[in-house]
Structure 1
Amino acid sequence: MADQSRQPNVIVFFTDQQRWDTTGAHGNPLGLTPNFDRMAAGGTHLYHSFTCQPVCGPARSVFQTGLYPTTTGCYRNKIPLPEGSRTLAHYFNDAGYQTGYIGKWHLADENPVPESGRGGYRYWLAANALERTSDSYDAVVFDNDNARVKLPGYRADALTDAAIRFIDREKEQPFFLFLSFLEPHHQNHRDDYPSPDVYRDAFTGRWTPPDLTALGGNSAQHLGGYYGMVKRLDEALGRVCDAVKSLGLAEDTIILFTSDHGCHFKTRNGEYKRSCHESSIRVPTAVVGPGFDSRGQVRELVSLIDLAPTLLDAAGIEVPEQMQGRSIMPLLRRESGEWRDDVYVQISEEGIGRAIRTKRWKYAVASVDGAKDAPSADVYEERFLYDLQADPYELTNLIGYESHRDAATAMKERLLRRIAEAGEAPATIIPAESRRASGQRRVSEAEVRA
């Protein structure tokens, strides 16, 4: 039975570039994620979960601070988290927790990361850009003293071993552990998805998501390795859960699984993310532990920016007013039936873009001047409109169609409101050039608001 006098431990199991549809809970038929699927079934499954910036550094800044990238200033990679930023570690430190960070950080501008750039985490076994210091069977990180540490084993296993050692060492006091993997992100220097050797060819050609079947990209080359990495990550998740259970901590420990963004395998632009599409922005998310067990599947739309306030709230720590996300705990406790019906996405590096997604519609804009190195733009132009009810894999762009002008207008109004709510400067959105779709019906007003 859980110790009601003890603050719950919190473990974040954070993967990199993992699509939501790699999981059995989202229909993947390959049996890659039995441990995640069990979490989703027995805990809380955030079925519609999205990043609010589909690129590594900005997404991580959101999770650590509960603020949009344009608020922290980390609106693209290679911008370090400003000194003085309040992170999850600071709030958990203040509440008497031991805090630890293991794995990929990507919120500094150097390796190894000096203590001032570690976001307040007291225990440190990490690297800034892990893909640049290590390889699949060459896991290299740095400790609290910035000494180089080579961990034995496949990289995901090596980091998991380190996490289990931390959990065992700190089990007598409340702890907050952020375990951040590189997998299933590609190994940059050779553009490869290196799975464990045992899975190297196990999943090649087995199953391809419909968007990749239609659009191709380089999925035929890389999807098998990607799936092998996902399989090993799920095994690592099972090992963490087993360690927690064996130490008698299961009923006192919250475990959150999620990812920073997805992967579209060069179908939407020249690389793997940085687009408004589901393949870039939708991620698998599930939580178990005190306050989350047996809460079932949550169908409301939840953003990465909501996870920091949720974890603080679940641990009994006051959520700072400046956080721009919302805790989902009142939603789970049925204390409030109110929840926003859209998520807001900022896009950088591939270009300056903004997007909004409701349960039915996806609408996205991009800066008119093609600028890339700025936090936002004054003027955008319409780029994408998808009816996710009729076209869940986003294969037909409806932007500019006369039949969908009302839908685009309604989504434009929503997007401008969310830009303002995020604290960005007012912007202008130029309508797309009008197109007439042969045989396309007109969308009713009721459908526009759906």
Structure 2
Amino acid sequence: MSTEPHRPPNVIVVLTDQQRWDTTGVAGNPAGVTPEFDRIARTGTWAGTAVTPNPVCAPARAALQTGRFPTAAGVHRNGLPLPQDVPTLAGAFAAAGWTTGYLGKWHLAGAPAGAGPVPPDRRAGYRHWLAAELLEFTSDAYRTVLYDEDQRPVRLPGYRSDALVDAAIRFVADHHDQPFLLFLSLLEPHHQNATDDYPAPHGYRERYEGTWLPPDLAALGPGAPGGGAHRHIGGYLGQLKRVDEGVGRLRDALHSLGIEDRTILAWTADHGSHFRTRNDEYKRSAHDASVRVPLALTGPGFTGGGLIRRPVSTVDLVPTLLEAAGLPVPAGVQGRSFLPLVGGGADPGRPDGVLVQISESHVGRALRTGRWKYAVAAPDADAWNDPAADRYVETELYDLAADPYELDNLAGLTSHRSVADGLRAQLLAWLERAGERPPEILPAPPRTLPQRRPDPEARDLPWDGLPFGHRRGDGGNPP
């Protein structure tokens, strides 16, 4: 136990790549893949409905480093560098005297930097550095190559996520006697691009093949040629199992060093994966499979915090961590700390729902509330070059209380016109908050289905953000 109650907390962020929200036991997954995440969620704080601001790697990561929406951070798509004049998470902690370190995948140096070493002026304020711009291209499952502060290649032994966790344990051992910020950015459970495969540790794929398939993927079929999720789910879950074990080892190290009780640890993901069932790749859609991510925290300010019922965005993580550490939030941060919601608290000024910006597949925007998903797309925009548009058309409306896996698109139904109008007004207000110019949003072409109407009693999802009757992973009580 710590005997220094006034010492500032350490902060560790564990970021997985392409991890669906429903892979965790607390979210109802029966495969038993994430006992460590579940322990963090049950004994700490679990954001049951956490949403990325953009289901693409670099934009999501820009938001996690700046607390700004991707368009405001200057990274609306992959291949763009994070501007050097934007205040960052590491910059704020470093200015206050914390030691800062980054391990793993970066993806914010921009296209000219290539896949490997990241120049010092593109590291967003992190001092200690062992990373690669695109880890998926400099490594495979058992060959992990990163680059140090001097941009020299370093090969780490072991399975890839184990190698990075080992490096994280070395970092905390070397800096346990001073406040630190460590950002551990894992590649798993992202696919290996060259083989379009999910290389789990030996024996782990076999352990989870045929154990579980998300209801949306089961309903939508195999997706891409070659089997899609049906082919890959074993490896995908096997990767996550090893990551979960690694986070357990990292927490064991914190405990053995006597700093667990003064270390904030947050685990989240950049985005999810729909395994090519919604478009021709893995994400870049407004569906929860793309945009909803796991998020749990423990440590000072979060231990015993229970469930956060309201939807929160990962753009909120920067101000939340700064507030929990007692540090000022830099000007320009657009996220809103969810610390007031911890422990069942209220935040009357928090807007309803969260905003999602979509790029690369199309220029789109979405609003995700506790009950509804409302999405629009810009038919005339350049999905690669245009950060935003002046004109959008409604494309999707889902009642998540009745249809949590978004299989029944209600866009254009005359029975739901008033619902869509209300959500359109909320979305426009969110775009203003994100600094976007006010666009025109055209209604979807009208259509009618007999007997369809919104259920006025279904105001929100059940307490845990899950559909009624959905299995909990280990039969436990709510956190």
Please indicate, yes or no, whether the TM-score normalized by the shorter chain is above 0.5.
Answer: yes
SS state at 2:309 partner: strand
Are 2:205 and 2:237, in contact at CA under 8 Å, matched by a contact in 1? Answer: no
Match of 2:437 among 425, 431, 446: 425
2: CA distance, partners of 1:27 / 1:328: 23
| Regions of 4+ moved over 4 Å | 333-336, 444-450
Following superposition, the deviation at residue 85 of structure 1 comes to: 2.1
In the TM superposition, 1:44-443 aligns within 5 A as 44-109=45-110, 110=113, 111-216=116-221, 217=223, 218-332=228-342, 336-338=346-348, 339-372=350-383, 373-437=385-449, 439-443=450-454
SS state at 1:241 partner: helix
How far does the alpha carbon of each residue in 1:281-318 deviate from its partner, in whole angstroms, 9 at most, with x for none?
11111000011111111111110110000001111101
2:43 maps to: 42
Residue type of the alignment partner of 1:409: D
2: CA distance, partners of 1:192 / 1:199: 14
How far does the alpha carbon of each residue in 1:63-120 deviate from its partner, in whole angstroms, 9 at most, with x for none?
1000011111100000010122221111010111100000000001213111001111
SS state at 1:25 partner: coil
How far does the alpha carbon of each residue in 1:260-281 deviate from its partner, in whole angstroms, 9 at most, with x for none?
0000000110000010001001
Q: Give % identity.
A: 55
- Which moved further from structure 2: 314-323 or 94-103? 314-323
Are 2:51 and 2:314, in contact at CA under 8 Å, matched by a contact in 1? Answer: yes
**What TM-score, normalized to structure 2?**
0.91
Following superposition, the deviation at residue 421 of structure 1 comes to: 1.2
Structure 1: segments with no counterpart, 5+ residues: none
SS state at 1:385 partner: strand
**Number of corresponding residues:** 449
1:16 maps to: 17
SS state at 2:248 partner: helix
Distance 1:80 1:27, change over 3 A: same
Are 1:406 and 1:448, in contact at CA under 8 Å, matched by a contact in 2? Answer: no
SS state at 1:188 partner: coil
1: CA distance, partners of 2:367 / 2:341: 22
Residue type of the alignment partner of 2:154: V
1: CA distance, partners of 2:303 / 2:454: 41
SS state at 2:376 partner: strand
RMSD, aligned CA: 1.5
How far does the alpha carbon of each residue in 1:212-260 deviate from its partner, in whole angstroms, 9 at most, with x for none?
1101221111111000011011001101100000100011101000000
SS state at 1:242 partner: helix
Are 2:353 and 2:370, in contact at CA under 8 Å, matched by a contact in 1? Answer: yes
1: CA distance, partners of 2:415 / 2:279: 27
Are 2:21 and 2:27, in contact at CA under 8 Å, matched by a contact in 1? Answer: yes
2: CA distance, partners of 1:84 / 1:388: 40
Are 1:410 and 1:448, in contact at CA under 8 Å, matched by a contact in 2? Answer: no
SS state at 1:190 partner: coil
**What TM-score, normalized to structure 1?**
0.97
How far does the alpha carbon of each residue in 1:375-426 deviate from its partner, in whole angstroms, 9 at most, with x for none?
0011011100000011111000000111111111111111111111110011
Are 1:59 and 1:261, in contact at CA under 8 Å, matched by a contact in 2? Answer: yes
2: CA distance, partners of 1:385 / 1:415: 13
SS state at 1:419 partner: helix
Residue type of the alignment partner of 2:161: A
Structure 2: segments with no counterpart, 5+ residues: 462-479
Residue type of the alignment partner of 1:193: Y
SS state at 1:423 partner: coil
2: CA distance, partners of 1:247 / 1:23: 28
Residue type of the alignment partner of 2:430: R
1: CA distance, partners of 2:458 / 2:22: 27
SS state at 1:26 partner: coil
How far does the alpha carbon of each residue in 1:167-202 deviate from its partner, in whole angstroms, 9 at most, with x for none?
000011001000000000011111111111121211
1: CA distance, partners of 2:328 / 2:122: 24
Distance 1:445 1:293, change over 3 A: closer
